[in-house]
Amino acid sequence: MESVLRAAAVYAFLLVVFRIAGKHTLAQITTFDFVLILVIGESTQQALLGNDTSMINSWIVIATLVAMEQALTLIKGRLPGLDDALESLPIVIVERGRPLERRMRKEQVTLSDILASARTNHGIGRLDQIEYAVLERGGGISIISRESGEKRRP
Amino acid sequence: MSDTNPYPDLDLEEDSILQRREWRWQRAGWVVLFVIVGLALAGVFGDGPLSSAHVVSRTQGNASSAVVTADYERFTRVGSATRIAIRLEGAPLETGDVSLEVERRFYDHARIERITPEPDRVALGAKTVKLVYASGRLRAGSGIVLDYEPTAAGLRTLRFGFAGSSVEMRQLAYF
């Protein structure tokens, strides 16, 4: 019983903490974000397993975590509002080459984050070539280039 | 959904009201996180200035000059090692065996790791466990240290007695 409660509590806590931390944290934009995730994983492990390192215990914990995830997905399917509340929504942070400063500040995304994403994923080197930059729910930054934006417009 | 989509060439389920609410909640969440860290530093979750406590037995009318003092943690955590340091003083130390009385229920929620120095004998009573030290082993101001781990969460009162005097401690064990 304790293993299930333990896993459920850790799951709920992580859900809340990462929601509070914002989209940006999980996207692993900087090296340190990656290190942070690693260290959180390490501390979580102890809380999940306690002193019981038996095989069955780890099965119980894994089963609980996956079951929680499934249950949450089911509930979110029924309640779209909950989905938005738990997973957040994508947000435009660059519009026609113009960075939307307030939104970037609120989401803790810097111009260099956006430009880095433009370079890595789209081969775009300048801000004015970006039609839209969207901070996605998962924290990644999608870039829609001027050209592809223009092609779509009639 | 907001009524007007400000980005006509972008299929984006943006919702400015929800977004603003989210930012508000996030800010509130950060405050809560900082408060939690602050409380943890202060020792509210154990191991810190607000957690360390010191109690001295009140001298009771029955002429015993025995004094018990104890240093302990107000806040502990299940499965995390903690310690109670007990100091005995007074005339009863000089006369024969010395016994420290520990309430039996203390053992219900604690796994004792070590008692230093080890008692010569442990006597079980109806409600107490007596840790008995042979005459002369403990001197005035001698300390007895109990290292243990709470095994269940909850708020408890611990009582330690020595020759008619006793100290009482309230200890909270977090899950």
Number of folded domains in chain B? 2
Same domain, B59 and B32: no
- Any domain includes B47: no
- Do B175 and B78 meet the contact criterion of CB atoms below 8 Å apart? yes
B14 vs A85, A90, A153: nearest CB: A90
Domain ranges of chain A: 2-87, 91-152
CATH of the domain at B73: 2.60.40.3670
Q: Do A20 and B10 touch (CB under 8 A)?
A: no
Is the Cβ–Cβ distance between A76 and A83 less than 8 Å?
yes
Domain extent, residue B32, equals: 1-42
Instruction: Establish if B9 touches chain A: CB-CB under 8 angstroms.
Output: yes
H-run or E-run covering B100: strand B98-103
> Which band of pLDDT confidence, cut at 50, 70 and 90, is reported for residue B2?
very low
For B73-115, what is each residue's pLDDT tens digit? 999 998 889 999 988 887 777 777 888 888 888 888 889 999 8
Quick one: B35 and B87 in the same domain? no
Residue in chain A lying closest to B16 (CA): A91
**Residues 6+ away with beta carbon under 8 Å from B142:** B87, B88, B93
Looking at the structure, do residues B124 and B148 belong to the same domain, yes or no? yes
B27 and B61 inside one domain: no
> Within a domain: residue B63?
yes
Domain shared by B19 and B84, yes or no: no
Do B29 and A20 make contact, defined as CB atoms within 8 angstroms?
yes
The verdict on a CB contact (< 8 Å) between A84 and B18 is: yes
Residue located via tokens 């010191």: B54
Q: Give yes or no for B14 touching A (CB within 8 A).
A: yes
E-state strands within chain A: 91-95, 98-99, 130-135, 141-145
With respect to residue B97, please indicate whether it lies within any of the assigned structural domains.
Answer: yes
**What is the number of CB-based contacts under 8 A between chain A and chain B?**
44
Q: Which of B150, B146, B153 is nearest to B101 (CA)?
A: B146
Nearest to A90 among B12, B26, B33 (CB): B12
| Option in A16, A88, A132 nearest B22 (CB) | A88
Instruction: Please list the pLDDT of chain A residue by residue as tens digits (154 residues).
Output: 888 998 999 999 988 888 888 777 766 667 888 888 889 889 888 888 877 888 999 999 999 999 999 999 999 888 878 887 788 888 898 888 888 988 888 888 888 888 888 888 888 888 888 888 888 888 888 888 887 655 555 4
B1 in contact with A at a CB cutoff of 8 Å? no
Partners of A89 on chain B (C-beta within 8 Å) are 13-15, 18-19, 22
What fold, for A91-152?
A: CRO Repressor (3.30.240)
Tokens coding A46: 């102890």
Is the same domain home to B21 and B58? no
Model-level pTM?
0.75
Question: pLDDT tens digits for B26-56?
Answer: 889 999 999 999 999 998 988 889 999 898 8
Q: Spell B44-70 as b/e; 16+ CB within 10 A means b.
A: bbbebeebeeebebeeeeeebebbbbb
Whether the CB-CB separation of B9 and B22 falls below 8 Å is answered with no
The verdict on B63 and B130 lying in the same domain is yes
